[in-house]
Amino acid sequence: MKINQAGIDLIKQFEGCKSTSYQDSVGVWTIGYGATGDDIVAGLTWTPEQIDDRLHQDLARFEEGVQNLLSNPDVNENQFSSLVCFSYNLGLQSLAKSHLLIYTNSGHYIAASLQFAKWDMAGGVVLPGLVKRRLAEKELYCS
Active site residues: 15
Backbone angles phi, psi at 119, to 5 degrees: -115, 55
Query: For 31, which DSSP code?
Result: E
Residues 6+ apart with CB under 8 A from 20: 31, 44, 45, 46
**Largest pairwise CA distance in the chain:** 45
Q: Rounded CA gap, 69 and 67, in Å?
A: 5
